[in-house]
Structure 1
């Protein structure tokens, strides 16, 4: 975020909305709401300094900066259904575009194409964590052992009951949730749903729940 702040400050005399490069607008779209508000606050404080020093055009510069941040905020709220490939394709797209973190709390994963996308995230440096059910990972076709073997941290419950959640958080700004299990049957045959949203309050609650479970459950060792 510091580099975005520096970009705006360096152009306090010449910031124009239609001349901002895609590299900057792309970075703005990747900010979550917390970071957007922090960037605005930094710019407002800088604007006060510039105004106190007698700098001209501070108000117009600040207005343009905040307008750009708001215009390029990433908002996304969609619902997807199966049978059909809509849910699976959305999950693949989100995984392919993940750049920082992927936290998955999924009852069962048997779809090896989705498992390969998760491993691809891990290999390109995205921090991946998986929570799953201890019994379902023993099912034929489960990809959990393969994911753990690839070096992805996995945690499981030890209970007579199920860790039945089906949600994920991508880059701390997109939450996905619904009835959909990451299986071929869910894609090809079942009546399932998936909600994907960037609504800050919802993403934050799922993030808090994921971390609560992560701190309580048991680590799966590769080869276990």
Structure 2
């Protein structure tokens, strides 16, 4: 795709000063096919367009900067797709736990975790280490399990990790995480020691754009709901 066409596509996303879900998906689908020169061109053009928009109407500064942030993150995460190898992992055994720890260690920008409970100290340690590195970590969990013996949720919250809980009579029973808004980990696996030692569980890892975005949107909706 020529630079002129790329610029036109980018300008179109700025018309309402918002990168919509559909536009984000299209941009992430495009990113893996871009050359380094084309990706550099789009990033630079995004900054140029943002500066021009702010100069034209300073009252829109926050919205324009939010658009620019989303464009840059989407280009970066979309470029990762080719490097994400889909995989399946099973327990009993250390496969699932090891994969979660590896993804926490490899995260560069953000980790969004949506799980029923967290009581495996090795997983909690990996989460906290990511937080210490400056990774934006958010956790959604269920209040019924937070008071269980061995739960690490309160400890993580006390250490500054952002946590929100489902306080309703029902259960927030999801078990997924999104890393850098580009890699999805999802499955039956509870983030507990017994899940690794005894239970028949699984997690699947995927970088498929539409699936990752669907789970990211669900996370954002739950984050708002439980705020």
Q: TM-score normalized by structure 2?
A: 0.67
Aligned pair in 2 of structure 1 residues 72, 140: CA closer, same or farther (>3 Å)?
closer
Instruction: State whether structure 2 residue 28 is matched by structure 1 residue 33.
Output: yes
1:173 maps to: 182
Where do 4+ consecutive residues of structure 1 move more than 2 Å? 32-35, 37-46, 69-73
Query: What is the CA distance between 1:75 and its match in structure 2?
Result: 2.9
Q: 2:38 aligned to 43, 50, 60, which one?
A: 43
**Secondary structure, aligned partner of 1:135:** helix
Q: Which has the larger radius of gyration?
A: 1
SS of match in other structure, 1:202: helix
Q: Could you say if the C-alpha distance between residues 205 and 189 of structure 1 is closer, same or farther in structure 2, counting changes exceeding 3 Å?
A: same
Corresponding residue SS for 2:114: strand
SS at match of 1:169: strand
Structure 1 residues without counterparts, runs of 5 or longer: 1-31, 47-68, 219-224
The reply to whether residue 98 of structure 1 matches residue 93 of structure 2 is: no
Spell out the pairing of 1:69-88 with structure 2 (5 A cutoff).
Answer: 73-88=82-97
Aligned: 1:207 with 2:216 = yes
Question: CA, structure 1 residues 189+44, in 2 after alignment: closer, same or farther (shift >3 Å)?
Answer: closer
Q: In 2, Cα distance between the equivalents of 1:71 and 1:209? A: 21
Residues 72/162 of structure 1: CA separation in 2 closer, same or farther (3 Å cut): closer
Cα 1:173–1:160 shift into 2, 3 Å: same
SS of structure 1 residue aligned to 2:156: helix
The 1:124–1:133 alpha-carbon spacing in structure 2 relative to 1, beyond 3 Å, is: same
Aligned pairs, how many? 166
Q: Is the 8 A contact 2:105 2:130 kept in 1?
A: yes
TM-score when scaled to structure 1? Answer: 0.68
Cα distance in 2 for partners of 1:177, 1:124 equals 24
1:110 has 2:119 as partner: yes
User: Which structure dedicates a bigger proportion of its chain to helix?
Assistant: 2
Select the residue among 138, 161, 174 that pairs with 1:152: 161
In 2: Cα distance, 1:161 partner to 1:211 partner:
19
Shift of 1:35: 7.2
| RMSD over aligned Cα atoms | 2.8
